[in-house]
Structure 1
Amino acid sequence: MTVPVAWAEPPAKLGVVNVSLLIEQAPQAKAASKKLEQEFAPQQKELEKLAKKLDGLQKDYAKNKLAMSATQRTAKEREIALLTREIQRRRSDIQELVNLRRNEELSKLQALINQAIREIGESQKYDLILYDGIAFSSKRIDITPQVLQYLQKRYKQQKAAFNR
């Protein structure tokens, strides 16, 4: 009697990645945040100067409004209102620019994360790597630490190349 030999394929190798954690902890993300802060620091300082000016105008108005004529009060109120609108407009413009730049940097980081996942998947022969919308995964198939290590190594290499 002969027993047929089953040529079963090995079980699929699965991996899961927590992209949110990578975006939060990757050195590239921290560098991008720092870069954005520096990039928009002059605009933030300008806003702070305008806010101090507005505060001074409001305090001066509150202190002296009883001694002002109706025309002077109206002029001062108009000046305060115009400066308030100017600050709001500038704040809104800066926030819009910051959001655009943040999205650009996030897009670069997501592309790098996808590249890291692809390279790890190919080099370690994964059949399937999932991310986004994972309700639960065991640590056994979570490759987030490996991807984070890849990103950290890549960041150090880029930094070393830049410093040469």
Structure 2
Amino acid sequence: MFKSLLKESLLKKIKMSLPTSNSSTILELPDGRSEKLEFTQVKATQFTVSDSDFELKSGVNVELDIHNVNLEATSKVLWPGEKVTVKGGLESHGQALKGVVNIPINKTIHDGVRGESWLYWKIETPEGVLMNDKPIHMVGEVKGLPPQDSEFRSEDVITLNNEKGEFAGTIYNCCQSN
């Protein structure tokens, strides 16, 4: 009975908003030039709790649909003074980005639990649009939803292509602080 009531309440789409965050990533171009870009959030990130799975032995997995990512940085090295923007989600790829929060059976979210997201970005630079085909896998500790006071990091080097599908650079050391 408890399991079905919990699942029923978690299955309802809960809309949430993350009003502010700061992000950074290192962008490296094919010629070897690189820059650590420091992004600020242009508009609030909207997301919904899309599904949850409760298992008596392992806990709760809360799945999230991240509807938008809107970031902006001013380049200091690659294109001094020029804007670099990042869009993700419905506005860039036409579908929500995915995230999940894993809450073990013996913890609450307020204890600090693992959160993950898989991001597809459309990066607009003065030299053109760059996109990733492989998601940026971000991992962090979450103490609530929306994930305030959390930091997420990536570990992989992600290949970027231009709009023609040609190699156009890489990004790595992605970090997001909420």
Q: TM-score, normalised by structure 1?
A: 0.21
Structure with greater proportional strand content: 2
Name which structure has the greater RCO, CA cutoff 8 Å, separation 6+: 1
Bigger CA radius of gyration: 1
